[in-house]
Chain A
Amino acid sequence: MAQYPRWIRFAALITVAGTCGLEAADAPTSTVDFARDIQPILSDFCYHCHGPDPGSRKAGLRLDQRDAALAGGKSGLPAIVPGAPEQSELIARIFSQDPEEVMPSPDSHRTLTDQQKQAVKRWIEEGALWKDHWAFVAPIRPALPAQAATSISPIDAFIEARLAQAAIPLSPEADRRTLLRRVTLDLTGLPPTPDAMNAFLADPRPDAYERVVDALLASPHHGERWARPWLDVARYADSNGYSVDAPRQIWKYRDWVVGALNRDLPYDQFVIEQLAGDLLPDATRDQRVATGFNRNTQINQEGGIDPEQFRVESVNDRVATFGSAFLGLTLSCAQCHDHKFDPISQREYYQLYAFFNQTVDDGHGSSKPGGVLEFPDEARTDTSASPEVETARFELFSYLESRDPAHVAWRPEITPAVLAQLKPEMQHNVTQPWTQLTAGQRRQLYGYFVRDDAEYNRRVEKLTALERSQNRVVTTLVMSELAEPRTTHLFINGDFTRPGEVVFPGTPALLPPLRVAGPRATRLDLARWLFDPAQPLPARVFVNRVWQVYFGRGLVETENDLGLQGSRPTHPELLDWLALEFAESGWSMKALHRRIVTSATYRRSSTARPDLAEKDPLNLLLSHQIRLRLDAEWIRDVGLAASGLLVPRIGGPPVFPPQPESVMGLGQVNRAWITSEGDDRHRRALYTHHWRATPHPAAAVFDAPDSFSACTRRVRSNTPLQALTLLNDRQFFEFAQALGARLQRAATTDDARLRAGFELCVSRDPTPPELDRLRRLLADLRIPDGSGEVAAESEVWTTIGRVLLNLDETLNRS
């Protein structure tokens, strides 16, 4: 999924180029830092041909390891002679004017700047000191910087020390209203209620804020809010994907995540249960549900496919997700060849693959026993059909689709007398081109006119029988190990039809060794390996992802790549401190959230800092907070909460809030969207049924991920299509109507109602100019419009509701 700008790397290069940049602040100008100044150059300009991948290595030379670089390549000349640039072939080559000699070679279209060449030369002069890539070395507890006076936590000490170095002043703390709205949205995805606001404002105790934080962390809505980024990583959806996109039941897994976060299941256990809960001794049903994490892969139910191909695809997806979710590494790069930048071989890729290659699920979705966990004590209440029914329905519909107009022989039979007998809808449909009819309409016409098509009848009977016998039991998809292990081969060039050498489960040599508990290495060993105290990556990866939610950007910008092509952390010591603190305090995620949101850094004002336009335009040094547009889900949830419609029930089968009618016709199979009525119409967005092929447009337009692969960070766009959604979409209009009615009930005067509306949407009082503007709108609405119509009072207040729900401030966290 998405990756993000590498500003930080730009900054590092710019520093080398000697113009300006943040890194300059703490870069002693006399010495070159390998990791900061040199390794990015080597990685960008050299590793492609002189890196870890022997397949693309030229002249036998590798420059990603010190010994190899010192030894040189086939030419026998040492590429690097520490202290002696004039004897180093690397220097001769990069400074060469000869197109046959110069490196990088002209056909690579990569050119080193003079400053970069000088930096490499100076580094060799200074002894060519080599350090391992920062992220591959386990964090060590950093010394806290001398604390600045205002610091209240080690987080602030690290941040403020860096800002002091850069001589950037801190922004003040946000006002209490902004702060409560911010932390309530960040911890629960809902705005504070007016009562909660009043209680907070009236609480004079010095730890009033910390008390609020504790209450929010204890709220069941906390689990709903923080389940969302995890479900993005887990590529959770309620359908099988690919073109058929049949529905699946796996919402028990979604509810498991919410519950685990709410009971603060320690992160190590949280991960181990998801990766290998089925292999734990005496695994509970809950622990098996957790393994749905790796059953969120797509399933291809197209006819004529090779199921093995798509089983392999799902195993590849599990490896890729394992890499991005827990290691912050782009493992997929090693699927077809050795990784070009990070020291991960293709063989090691397939060793990881071997762990996930042992389950019973196939590529066609016809799960063998064990891949589906049943809940016989729970009857299904949702309306979606089982995969078998969906498949039968698909078979029928595609048959009908194949009956092109030439096969539809009834048209000559249609006399006015025949036509008159038809239902009005069918009378219309028979006049339409076949290609423009929906599957349901085709079925109706075909069934009526063509009575002797055996193939059609066979398919109809199969579907009807299945529909009648449909098992209405709640199920969920789980990982379930084969009795006999499957042999894993390396696939030549990643092609599953070309098996190469046999490999066994194992972990990359780059990382700490695997401890194997039983006779052979299993997923459980792999899961536990992530939490080996010597592991450099998993804790950093997780705290960085949490950090990015609170500040819009991780301490490492490239949150899914901590490898050599990733960006360097802006605050390496802080990252390590957070990672170690997280691990050593028992992997409590709630404690991690608390640590961050109670810091002064988190609590600062988000007002823009024009004084930093040149010095720190992206706020990398975190002198202030930033305004962040709410994620798609919270935009719906804020509307529900402000309007009073929210049904705050936690968990259960997916629901179907209103969406535009044309949406479901887009998939290959025309699926029903039976809009929920009653409570289920007004549940949080987390519970909206997510079809991969036809996602809810109000989610997609606000950048909700597609669930095809792990998404570790969302983009935030700002488009006219979002405006159209919030202004005109049926569900948002319903929110406005409900909010208007709520304001009418809440007070009797215009001003009091307007104030109540502001409080519900943006958690503050309107300023006098804002109040004036809304009063003026009221006045405008109460005079007849161009057509002479006078709006009813309910319509007037609906309009006020629309304005309030569309405010930029309502859609943002300040």
Chain B
Amino acid sequence: MSQLDPLPPDAAAHLHALTRRHFLSRCAIGLGSVALATLLDQSARAAGPTQPADPTTPKAPHFPARAKSVIYLFMAGGPSQLDLFDYKPRLNELNGQPVPDSLVAGKRFAFMTTSHGSQLLGSRRAFARHGQSGAWVSDLMPHTARVVDDLTIVKSCAADLFNHAPAKLFMNTGSGQFGRPSMGSWVTYGLGTESRNLPGFVVLQSGPRGPRGGSVNWGTGFLPTTFQGVPFRGQGDPILNLANPAGVSSARQRQTLDALRDLNLQQAVATGDAEIHTRIAAYEMASRMQSSAPELVDLRGESAATRALYGIHDDAPSFARNCLLARRLVERGSRFVQLYHTNWDSHGGPGENLQSDFEARCREVDQAQAALVTDLKQRGLLKDTLVIWGGEFGRTPMGENRDTTGRNHHIDAFTMWFAGGGTPAGRIIGETDELGFNAVKNRAHVHDLHATILHLLGLDHRRLTFRFQGRDFRLTDVHGHLIESLIA
């Protein structure tokens, strides 16, 4: 980064004090204010006397971390675990039978109205056991089946909310209500980011449309907006306008940005508006992205073997490209990369049936997600990178539609898998009942998953807090227990 222009001495002092006060009062995490103050002073000294502390500077975790970064493959819409990982021969036997009353009596369940979805639907998929772990995987994910010994498959996941937008919000923020920070925001708030040149929290999208709920899924709620996810474009150029306008040299661009920053700082002092600090940081990040992002998104540097591994055959936007981009982001220090792949909502209607549509979704992700795990491992990155795979919920053992071509939303038991980042390799956690309706062993609620993910990153979910309106808020609110078996 270029030299900063000195501000008038009194303005600089005032600004530093203001910035310090702002971050001390609004951003004190569980480290304790004293430690944070030291950290701020160190970073301030290192960068020169007028450098305001950057809230995304890397921060020490609460205890030694197993994972340094996260790649979260979010399967938006809720893939059917019963056709992928949770093999239920009994369900196949009972195909077409009414669902036993014992399962649904007294059950809080979204679509159990009189009219609907009461017949069991067996899976038409061929299942087989794979790897040393003997994990069941259906024929829809042959590539993933080959890497099961690197995965921890959690079959007993459970959530609270059964409509897409609130459920996505719940999976991302621990609350179905708007206004809470997303996991990626909490993590970058707690740990900062190693990347100075790319955003710490990046969102990549593939599939025909964005995830329901949109930007609130990677929003910051009451945390400073600096920590929000930066969505790269889902199609075409991931980032537009990276090049300077014609005729503007990088030296001139830097002079422009320096003047702009100084003027914005003066305005920040005059108005006290914390959003101006976010804008200043955004411009600085934009400037660094101008030099680093073209290299990031240029996949020509990747070997033919790597591209083939992911299944990238052209420049068309795809989940596979995003997986490779995610690896490159993590290599370059981004803290939290979240990929959304949409249209897993297999109700059985047009475009969302459990046959060709579901197969197509699986084809779109299978090779690339397996390649991501393999590639990270080959490069020695897997041990520090936690890969998370899953939707906002799963699907019912009951079929939907008269021609039984779909399944409904199901929150009582669904499958997610994890790889790397301090999770055990080749373990299967949790069991569901013989129909896959309820988790009967090691139930892993979303709050527990959140607590465990933070733990792997070296953060105590009870200590990663933000005081807002007189109350300390957490990702797990007042819930969350560590899932010990998910920690190697």
Contact = CB atoms under 8 A, between A and B. Distances in A.
A614 B221 contact: no
Interface string B244-259: 1101110111011111
Contact of A781 (B230, B245, B255): B255
B256 A802 contact: yes
Contacts of A14: 469-471
B260 A724 contact: no
B185 to A, nearest CB: 12
Given A723-B283, A727-B286, A806-B260, A436 B271 contact: no
A48 B163 CA distance: 13
Contacts of A436: 314-315
Contacts of A435: 314, 316
A744 B252 CA distance: 19
A492 B116 contact: yes
Contact of A787 (B244, B249, B253, B468): B249
Contact of A720 (B106, B257, B260, B282): B282
A58 B216 CA distance: 33
A100 B27 CA distance: 42
Nearest to B109: A56
Interface string B200-215: 0000000010000011
Contacts of A808: 264, 267-268, 275-276, 279-280
Given A108-B108, A723-B286, A608 B274 contact: yes
Contacts of B236: 662-663, 665-666
B133 interface: no
A261 to B, nearest CB: 28
B275 A493 contact: no
A437 to B, nearest CB: 11
Contacts of B276: 808
Interface string A446-472: 000000000000000000000000000
Interface residues of A, number: 95
A244 to B, nearest CB: 13
B31 to A, nearest CB: 20
Given A433-B314, A728-B243, A787 B282 contact: no
A80 B457 CA distance: 48
Contacts of A267: none
Interface stretch (A5-13, A125-133, A374-382): A5-13
B328 to A, nearest CB: 18
A78 interface: no
A629 B3 CA distance: 29
A718 interface: yes
A99 interface: no
Given A433-B314, A785-B252, A724 B113 contact: no
Contacts of A627: 271, 273, 275
A269 to B, nearest CB: 34
Contacts of B241: 660, 724-725, 727-729
A770 B216 contact: no
B282 A722 contact: yes
B350 A305 contact: yes
Contacts of A2: 214, 216
A701 to B, nearest CB: 8
A388 interface: no
Nearest to A10: B469
B51 interface: no
B249 A5 contact: no
A660 B240 contact: yes
A6 B179 contact: yes
Interface in A612-633: 613-614, 617-618, 627, 629
Contacts of B247: 795
Contacts of B25: 613
Given A493-B116, A717-B228, A723-B283, A107 B267 contact: no
For the side of the interface on B, what is the size category? 35 or more
Interface in A40-66: 48-49, 55-56, 58
Nearest to B166: A3
A243 interface: yes
Contacts of B267: 807-809
User: Which of B115, B263, B266 has the largest number of chain A CB atoms within 10 A?
Assistant: B263
Contacts of A305: 350
B132 interface: no
Contacts of B252: 781, 785, 791, 795, 799
A777 interface: yes
B43 interface: no
A94 B214 CA distance: 37
B80 to A, nearest CB: 19
A56 B216 contact: no
Interface string A291-308: 000000000000001100
B272 interface: yes
Contact of A769 (B8, B258, B264): B8
B290 interface: yes
A165 interface: no
A105 B109 CA distance: 13
A138 interface: no
Nearest to A613: B25
Contacts of B314: 433, 435-436
Contact of B259 (A21, A495, A606, A777): A777
Contacts of B279: 718, 723, 808, 811
Nearest to A5: B179
Given A7-B179, A11-B469, A14-B470, A493 B262 contact: no
Interface in B97-140: 106-109, 111-116
A720 B283 contact: yes
Interface in B257-303: 257-260, 262-264, 266-268, 270-276, 278-280, 282-283, 285-287, 289-290
Nearest to B106: A58
User: Which of B107, B177, B222, B235 has the largest number of chain A CB atoms within 10 A?
Assistant: B177
Contacts of A243: 208
A337 B478 CA distance: 32
B54 to A, nearest CB: 14
A747 to B, nearest CB: 20
B282 A719 contact: yes
A368 B30 CA distance: 65
B370 to A, nearest CB: 24
A21 B108 contact: no
Contacts of A617: 468-469
A309 B208 CA distance: 19
A702 to B, nearest CB: 12
A627 B242 CA distance: 29
A720 B230 contact: yes
Contacts of A309: 350
Nearest to B247: A795
B113 A337 contact: yes
User: Which of B256, B290, B470 has the largest number of chain A CB atoms within 10 A?
Assistant: B256
A87 to B, nearest CB: 25
A786 interface: yes
A641 to B, nearest CB: 20
Contacts of A786: 249, 251
18 contacts: A5-B222, A7-B469, A20-B469, A55-B112, A436-B314, A436-B315, A606-B273, A629-B275, A717-B228, A720-B282, A720-B285, A722-B282, A727-B241, A769-B8, A773-B5, A773-B262, A803-B256, A808-B267
Given A608-B272, A795-B247, 14 more contacts: A7-B469, A11-B469, A336-B113, A433-B314, A607-B270, A618-B469, A715-B219, A717-B228, A723-B287, A727-B286, A777-B259, A781-B252, A802-B256, A806-B283
Counting from the closest, the 7 A-B pairs by CB-CB distance are A5-B179, A608-B272, A723-B286, A55-B113, A20-B470, A785-B251, A728-B241
Interface of B: 5, 8, 11, 25, 106-109, 111-116, 160, 177-179, 199, 208, 214-216, 219, 221-222, 225, 228, 230-231, 233, 235-237, 239-245, 247-249, 251-253, 255-260, 262-264, 266-268, 270-276, 278-280, 282-283, 285-287, 289-290, 314-316, 350, 401, 412, 445, 468-471, 478-479
